[in-house]
Structure 1
């Protein structure tokens, strides 16, 4: 392992994302074989470099001295999400074709949302992953606020 491949900055900070998984080998295979990540550390915890970020994966467990009262577990209900990975790509159609051919199961094909093209898939533990390609937002088209939010329509800067 090269130090530069491991998420340990010499200055400043680096953002990583931790996933509690049921089966480390299965999740490692998904993020490397399908999404193209590179294994930095196999287990305890598993660290996968994915594009310009890192995923850290380990099985769940009960509270520890540094997180008292907190139990880690994979999502219990895949139809409810409180957070998700957001992967931005240059060519969503190519990404959709490549990952589908490798076994990724998308909820829908890419959908044109005016500001972006986007679609979603799930990893083996049910974590939701958004895949998006900026389109209209690059031309000043902004997202509409959620219906009933009472927020005014955004204006282009």
Structure 2
């Protein structure tokens, strides 16, 4: 049987810009940055969290031909690819304030929900990101 989710993927238009955002702004760390010849394998993760990585993949070979890659880039630019990530934090409002100070534009300010406090933003490529401070269960 399956044991864990170890790798997820989102499309990005520019991997260097993605690194700047995910590592430089959000504070993730690079796990793998390797030129495979046919593509750049670039993964990031939350610092200290072993086993879970996000592949920041440019649309193109080997997964798709040039025409399909162009369609994916167009959809990504419109925020229509459905890519999204969810992160947790100990203090949603503090994280929100820190990211706003770094110039991050949010689609939703922190709001209380039945499951905790969360807020939303988009990465530079249109992927949705949710940041949640889960409700503490006694």
Do they superpose with TM above 0.5? yes
Say how many residue pairs are matched: 124
Identify the structure with the greater helix proportion.
2
Aligned equivalents of 2:17, 2:116: Cα separation in 1: 31
Structure 1 residues 13-38: Cα deviation after superposition (integer angstroms, max 9, x where no partner)? 44221122110000111000111111
Measure the CA separation in 2 of the matches of 1:81 and 1:14: 21
**Superposition deviation, residue 99 in structure 1:** 1.4
Whole-angstrom CA distance in 1 between matches of 2:44 and 2:62: 24
Counterpart for residue 16 of structure 1: 7
Matches within 5 A, 1:3-152: 12-43=3-34, 44-51=40-47, 52=49, 53-61=52-60, 64=63, 71=68, 73-74=72-73, 75-78=76-79, 80=80, 82-135=82-135, 138=137
* TM norm structure 2: 0.74
Shift of the 126–12 alpha-carbon distance from structure 1 to 2, 3 Å rule, reads same
Gaps of 5+ in 1: 1-10, 140-157
Per-residue CA deviations over 1:49-74 (Å, capped at 9, x if unaligned) read 2242311112111564xx79xx4534
Structure with bigger gyration radius: 1
CA RMSD, Structure 1 to Structure 2 (Å): 2.7
* Unaligned segments of structure 2, at least 5 residues: 35-39
TM-score of the aligned structures, taking structure 1 as reference length = 0.66
C-alpha separation between the residues in 2 aligned to 1:112 and 1:58?
A: 33
